[in-house]
Amino acid sequence: MNVISYDLKDKVAVVTGGSRGIGLELARRLLGEGAKVAICARKQEGLDQAAVELGGGDNLLTVPAHIAREEDVDLLFGQTKARFGRVDILINNVGMNLMTPSLVDTEAATWQKIIESNLTGTYYCSRTAAKLMKEQGSGKIVSISSTAGFRPAPGMGIYGIAKAGIEMLTKVLAAELATDSIQVNAVAPCMVKTGFSAPFWSNPDVHDEIVKTIPAGRLAEISDVVEPALFLCSGGADFITGQVLAVDGGSTLN
């Protein structure tokens, strides 16, 4: 596909979960646009590998952080501001899911783990970034959600609830921050071909059943998510806020 330019030169972006998958490609594209990028992940070895692959030099900062811990989030944004002086863009990309039985049969600890990693961490990061952006008078917050937040799916109940929470968080923050020239949006893809979702799409029978629900006739690729996310980070989206953009090949049309 043709590479689209978003004019992000010298912008400072934080990408959570930036050591692999969608987050890694977001960081790569942001660096290619001339942005300064901070990525976080829970494991230092993953960050070290990403740093080698990205080759961002002085424009790349890696910070080990668990976004469901406030102190780690404070460290992430503190180090980013100390290194680059500001934060213009936050992309909330961290997500995790555990296949779960019905809600009534799921242990509370599983609920807590999924909600904390997906929703609570997004709240902590968005709140911290928004405080810095308010001081600056501008900013962009983009969250990677999921069409699982639109309707129930077997085995993905808690994950769907968390993603639905991210979508309402997006709208609430957009309303609260609009007068500060901070735009808050989300991208909600259907299943994307990443390592995260490999247990599903790597099974040919499951893959074919999922594709039957997508009018476009295929699963989403990483680039299908990265490009609209970058657009929402760009000046072209200055008058777009509080939106959840479905990137789903038409799967939610019905």
Mean pLDDT (whole number) for 90-103: 91
CB atoms within 10 A of CB 200: 16
Quick check: is 159 catalytic? yes
Chain segment 178-192, per-residue pLDDT in tens: 999 999 999 999 989
Distance CA 173, CA 182 (A): 9
On the question of pLDDT at 128 being above 60, the answer is: yes
Beta strand pairing status for 89-92 and 182-189? unpaired
Mean pLDDT (whole number) for 72-97: 96
Phi, psi of 19 (to 5 degrees): -90, -10
Task: Look at 23-37, 82-96, 189-203 and tell me which has the smallest mean pLDDT.
Answer: 189-203
On the question of pLDDT at 160 being above 90, the answer is: yes
Task: Look at 9-13, 86-90, 188-192 and tell me which has the smallest mean pLDDT.
Answer: 188-192
pLDDT band at 206 (very low <50, low <70, confident <90, very high): confident
**How many residues are there in the chain?**
254
On the question of pLDDT at 93 being above 70, the answer is: yes
Of 6, 123, 124, 159, which is the active-site residue?
Answer: 159
The pLDDT assigned to 3 comes to 66
In the block, tokens 């997006």 appear at: 170
Strand partners, 60: 37
Mean pLDDT (whole number) for 212-219: 93
**Is 80 within 8 Å of 38 (Cβ atoms)?**
yes
On the question of pLDDT at 20 being above 80, the answer is: yes
Strand partners, 182: 139
User: Does residue 133 or residue 155 have the better pLDDT?
Assistant: 133
Helix axes 222-233, 21-32, angle to 10 degrees: 50
Mean pLDDT (whole number) for 31-47: 97
Q: Which stretches of 116-156 are DSSP H helices?
A: 121-136
What does each C-alpha distance from 252 to 19, 89, 188, 189, 248 come to in angstroms?
A: 30, 28, 11, 10, 7
In the block, tokens 């699982």 appear at: 148
Share of the chain above pLDDT 90, in %: 83
Domains of the chain: 12-247 (3.40.50.720)
Phi, psi of 245 (to 5 degrees): -90, 115
The CA angle 128-23-123, to the nearest 5 degrees, is: 25
Mean pLDDT (whole number) for 155-177: 96
Average pLDDT of the chain, as a whole number = 94
Chain segment 62-79, per-residue pLDDT in tens: 999 999 999 999 999 999
Handedness of CA 126, 26, 95, 61 (dihedral sign): negative
**Residue 216, amino acid:** A
Task: For residue 22, give the nearest of 144, 162, 119, 113 by alpha carbon.
Answer: 144
pTM above 0.75, yes or no: yes
Task: Tell me which DSSP letter residue 136 carries.
Answer: H
Burial of 196 (0-12, 13-18, 19+ CB in 10 A): middle
Strand partners, 55: none
Cα distance between the two ends of the chain: 28
Task: Tell me which DSSP letter residue 185 carries.
Answer: E
Mean pLDDT (whole number) for 89-118: 94
On the question of pLDDT at 1 being above 60, the answer is: no
pLDDT band at 203 (very low <50, low <70, confident <90, very high): confident
The pLDDT assigned to 41 comes to 97
